[in-house]
Structure 1
Amino acid sequence: MKLQDLQENWNKFGEQDPLWGILAWPDKSQNRWEIDAFFATGVAEIEEVLAYLERLDVQVAREAALDFGCGVGRLTQALAPHFRVVHGVDISPAMLALAEQYNRFGDRCRYHLNEADDLGLFADGSFDFIYSNITLQHMPPRFARAYLLEFLRVLRPGGVLVFQIPSAPRQKWRLLLQPLKPTRLWRLYRRLRYNDRPVMEMYCIPKARVLRLLRAHGARVVDVQPDTSADAAWISYRYCVTR
């Protein structure tokens, strides 16, 4: 699977059912999200994350933040009252067009299309805080690993990274599908089964591998805890990391 395939899939969500594509609550499909209620979930999530960091006694400078996988800006806007500037990055032009449309914070929220498997549009040490939730789980692990290393590169010394990714499926048979999903054969199957509809595919990286990757590249892992953001069929974790 190429990033172009991911972009095509998520652009379809952006065109057909963008808010549900971001927050897939069962009763909100087919464009049944009410916009204020949708964005209120982002405010609640960021308040919880900042309270979590406070409990860990982790100090965060409030200059620049990055929302990776920003979609229509649900979390970008929620971060804006807490930082001087927040950059939202996404692979879908359709999602980003809506993010600009919904933006209530002017230049404090800045949105970027990123079609590469790196964050080359940002210099080293650009951000005090990086947050990514329910995004890395929707891409093959080779892309997720590459972005994790890029998070460390663009994080300032003393900066804080919080991200979520599933570690394993609760049902072992799902693990057998992981190597198939990025293949051409799987894409053909998906096209035949779903036609033009987007598909919300899930991937994972075992917790032990995530920790090895982070530590091998100089990160300090402050905390790892079970997380419920992913589908209930997956064992998922939230990681808090500093440089």
Structure 2
Amino acid sequence: MAENVIQNFLDTSFDHEGRAVQVAMTPEEHRALFDRIQTQWTGYGESEPFASVLSDEQFLKENIQQNMHILEASGNEVVRRLHVVAERNQVTLTKGKCLELGCGVGRITKPLSQLFNHVVAADISPGNLEVCKKHVQDASAHNVEALLLQSPEHVTAVKDIDAFVSIIVLQHNPPPVQYFLLDSILGNIVPGGVAFFQTATFNPGYAYQIGHHLALDTEAFESWSLHCLPMKHILQLFRKHGMDVLEVVEDGQTGGLHNRFHSHTFFAVKP
């Protein structure tokens, strides 16, 4: 029975044509989307910073102290997977600058700081970023630079990137914003650098139009918390920026069996 459920879920990739997903936007639309997202995640960072990173009651404020080790273990697992994927593809990770997009409370930032010489921990939420800064300071990780994203273009200022890492972050941004972020960041990766990131790529019932999304009231806008960037656009960006895609792994990061979202982790290198 369980095998049939899993197979049916996997088959959805082939059984539906998919719906229209808009990825192009005007500067005005980008600013409007950014302002909405910033307000949304600023609120999350103030109310429940840890649960905003991993949505589970064990990470609520009243429970986080006894469960912090679980949160940290999840961050260590991400970096372990990066190691594994790089090693099996015979890629040597350059120890220079790592950009972590959506650092949240620092669960991945800390182990990344042990792997790279310099980590730029970027987030849109001031509250989450403050928790991250304290977390890495307590761990004596003095090679972490906290970057508060205060405008749509802010992330483009991070140049000469040796590694780009982002897990459970992009999918919480509308497709045009995801496309912009990836376009900006992949273009700033140096030769020999890598990209290791995850996002949702497909749901048979998902469609996206900017005008419709922005027309929603604040509560309805925030309820659209999970978005897809179709894989064709991600692969097109890799081609545009001269990166070789070495692996695309379906990862289950969206709880896909329950909500039909397909999630993939991408690993690519710039020759």
With structure 1 as the length reference, what TM-score do the two structures score?
0.86
Quick one: distance in 2 between partners of 1:64 and 1:13? Answer: 28
Q: Contact 1:91 / 1:115 at 8 angstroms: preserved in 2?
A: yes
Q: How many residues align?
A: 231
Given candidates 27, 33, 36, the residue that maps to 1:2 is 33
- Is 1:148 matched up with 2:175? no
- Is 1:114 matched up with 2:149? yes
Q: Helix, strand or coil: the match of 1:107? A: coil
Change (3 A) 1:188 1:9: closer
State the one-letter code of the partner of 1:14.
G
Tell me the equivalent position of 1:22: 53
Q: Helix, strand or coil: the match of 1:240? A: strand
Quick one: distance in 1 between partners of 2:265 and 2:235? Answer: 12
Name the structure, 1 or 2, with higher relative contact order (CA <8 Å, separation 6+): 2
Tell me the equivalent position of 2:264: 237
Change (3 A) 1:144 1:81: same
Q: What is the root-mean-square deviation in Å for CA atoms of aligned residues?
A: 2.1
Specify the structure having the higher radius of gyration (Cα): 2
Q: Helix, strand or coil: the match of 1:120? A: helix
- Map 1:125-136 to 2 at 5 A: 126-136=160-170
Instruction: For residue 27 of structure 1, report the CA deviation from its aligned partner.
Output: 4.8
Instruction: For residue 30 of structure 1, report the CA deviation from its aligned partner.
Output: 6.0
Quick one: distance in 1 between partners of 2:149 and 2:33? Answer: 14
Query: Could you list the runs of 5+ residues in structure 1 that have no partner in the other structure?
Result: 192-197
Q: Helix, strand or coil: the match of 1:183? A: helix
- Is 1:219 matched up with 2:243? yes
Instruction: For residue 229 of structure 1, report the CA deviation from its aligned partner.
Output: 1.6
Given candidates 86, 91, 116, the residue that maps to 2:124 is 91
Instruction: For residue 200 of structure 1, report the CA deviation from its aligned partner.
Output: 6.6
- Map 1:184-203 to 2 at 5 A: 184-188=214-218, 190=220, 199=223, 201-203=225-227
Q: Contact 1:140 / 1:182 at 8 angstroms: preserved in 2?
A: no
Change (3 A) 1:2 1:31: farther
Moved more, 36-45 or 62-71: 36-45
Q: Contact 2:253 / 2:263 at 8 angstroms: preserved in 1?
A: yes
Tell me the equivalent position of 1:194: none
Change (3 A) 1:101 1:189: closer
Moved more, 139-148 or 43-52: 43-52
Query: Could you list the runs of 5+ residues in structure 2 that have no partner in the other structure?
Result: 1-31
Change (3 A) 1:179 1:116: same
State the one-letter code of the partner of 1:109.
V
Given candidates 191, 199, 209, the residue that maps to 1:165 is 199
Q: Helix, strand or coil: the match of 1:110? A: strand
State the one-letter code of the partner of 2:253.
S
Q: Contact 2:99 / 2:121 at 8 angstroms: preserved in 1?
A: yes
Render the CA deviation track for 1:97-118: whole Å, top value 9, x for unaligned: 1111222234211111012223
Quick one: distance in 2 between partners of 1:30 and 1:109? Answer: 25
Quick one: distance in 2 between partners of 1:76 and 1:5? Answer: 26
Given candidates 179, 193, 202, the residue that maps to 2:209 is 179
Q: Helix, strand or coil: the match of 1:201? A: coil
Given candidates 115, 135, 142, the residue that maps to 1:102 is 135
Q: Contact 1:181 / 1:187 at 8 angstroms: preserved in 2?
A: no
State the one-letter code of the partner of 1:122.
V
Instruction: For residue 206 of structure 1, report the CA deviation from its aligned partner.
Output: 1.4
